[in-house]
Amino acid sequence: MAFKHAVALTGGIASGKSTACNLLKLYGLRIIDADAIARQILDDEADAVAELFGDEYVADGKVDRKRLGQLIFSDKEARKQLEVLLHPKIREEIVRQSEVQDRLGGPYIVDIPLFFETGSYPIEKVIVVYAPRETQKKRLIEREGLGEEEAEARLNAQIDIEEKRKKATWVIDNSQNLKHLQRETERIFNQITNSR
Ligand SMILES: CC(C)(COP(=O)(O)OP(=O)(O)OC[C@H]1O[C@@H](n2cnc3c(N)ncnc32)[C@H](O)[C@@H]1O)[C@@H](O)C(=O)NCCC(=O)NCCS
Ligand SMILES: Nc1ncnc2c1ncn2[C@@H]1O[C@H](COP(=O)(O)OP(=O)(O)OP(=O)(O)O)[C@@H](O)[C@H]1O
């Protein structure tokens, strides 16, 4: 069963999904945030994380996200293990929240960074927040203080942004400044509401 009123929002790492969602919120759209759900679930799974990867990844009962990020973006096998632990639970919670929002009617946004990678969400309309790979990399390095190599590893952990762009129902172009992103977001908000 597809979620009739849902619009998925995805993109690449640091392409501007959260920034675009904050702007869409200003138009009154409801947002389900997969990263926030994933954060909560990871905290609940601290014991399992320690068992899988070692006690050094947990301090005072909380997962050391920075340290875990360094591991999982440089080690494909570890990333797979973390995904096997978290993704079914993340999916379950997103589906639960989408059922609630679908009953309320639409449209509403489901911000899922790995929408195409997981391929497991019954949502037909998809916004891709687009910025070219080099721009993603620059913003990622600035935001996280990463080195070039670490940023490349994070980009390589996802389907390339050009591929995602081709599969979009709508593209929000975030290759320029924030003023431009505001105009893009308004344009897509109008298209979402007019397409119904
Ligand atoms: C590894 C973790 C602890 C790093 O935390 P950190 O605070 O540094 O990053 P944050 O959670 O803000 O994620 C930033 C971005 O990284 C990308 N990302 C996260 N996990 C993955 C992954 N498994 N594969 C590819 N990209 C990923 C997404 O674009 C996400 O938006 C965290 O990303 C995590 O728990 N990942 C596994 C859960 C997951 O797959 N989340 C993606 C959303 S469903
Ligand atoms: N148009 C823009 N111009 C300059 N900086 C921007 C622009 N859009 C977003 N940024 C900055 O780039 C970084 C990435 O943006 P944001 O956090 O919204 O991306 P994201 O896709 O949600 O990232 P992630 O995949 O890591 O969750 C942030 O530091 C944000 O402030």
H or E element: which one contains 127? strand 125-130
pLDDT of residue 2: 87
Are the C-beta atoms of 85 and 41 separated by less than 8 Å?
Answer: no
Nearest to 11 by CA among 187, 163, 134: 163
Q: Is residue 139 in contact with ligand 2, taking CB distance under 6 Å?
A: yes
Q: Is residue 128 in contact with ligand 1, taking CB distance under 6 Å?
A: no
pLDDT of residue 196: 62
Prediction pTM value: 0.97
108 phi and psi angles, rounded to 5 deg: -140, 160
CA distance 25 to 188: 13
- Cα(160) to ligand 1 centroid in Å equals 16
Reported ipTM: 0.97
Give every residue of the chain whose pLDDT is below 70, as ranges.
196
pLDDT of residue 106: 80
Ligand-binding site membership of 17 (annotated): yes
pLDDT of residue 88: 97
Q: Is the dihedral of CA 116, 121, 127, 131 positive or negative?
A: negative
62 phi and psi angles, rounded to 5 deg: -115, 145
